[in-house]
Amino acid sequence: MAEDGISFNVKSVNALPDMHVEKEKVMSFQEILNQHELVLVDFHAVWCGPCKMLAPVLQELHREMGHTVKILKVDVDKNPQASEAFRITGVPTMILFKHGQPVWRQSGYMTLPAIKSVILDHQN
């Protein structure tokens, strides 16, 4: 995983609506992860059917828990270095980071209640 000091800039990291990205400042992926206690990263692809099904689930998660967890979307085709660093072999793959460290990982579609349960289990 990328904990060994690998630093890279992520292209096309899309945050759900409330994330303000300053165009003048390029942040490393680790810097983004370290900004918030909990960060859920959705590694996805535009051609992926289950990824498209997961998108509205993550939007609802943002509406319900955006104050608790930051949600980022990383397109694996546009960010092969990120995909390689986190050993992403299938999409969608979600990784939950706490204080910049991965604490949970799951590939495939998940329901809103299941994702919320994981986040609540890792709070505090």
CA angle 88, 27, 84 (to 5 degrees): 15
Peptide bond preceding 92: is omega within 30 degrees of 0, i.e. cis?
yes
* Residue 73 falls in the annotated catalytic set: no
* Residue 124 falls in the annotated catalytic set: no
Torsions phi, psi of 99, nearest 5?
50, 40
Q: Which of 15, 19, 27, 48 is catalytic?
A: 48
Q: Which of 16, 39, 40, 51 is catalytic?
A: 51
Residue 34 near residue 99 (C-beta atoms within 8 A)? yes
pTM: 0.81
**Per residue of the chain (124 residues), what is the pLDDT tens digit?**
444 443 444 544 445 544 444 444 566 778 888 888 999 999 999 999 999 999 999 999 999 999 999 899 999 999 898 889 999 999 999 999 999 999 999 999 999 999 999 999 999 7
Q: Could you give the CA distance from residue 98 to residue 37 in angstroms, rounded to a whole number? A: 5
Q: 2-122 has which CATH code? A: 3.40.30.10
Three-state DSSP state, 42: strand
Domain boundaries, the chain: 2-122
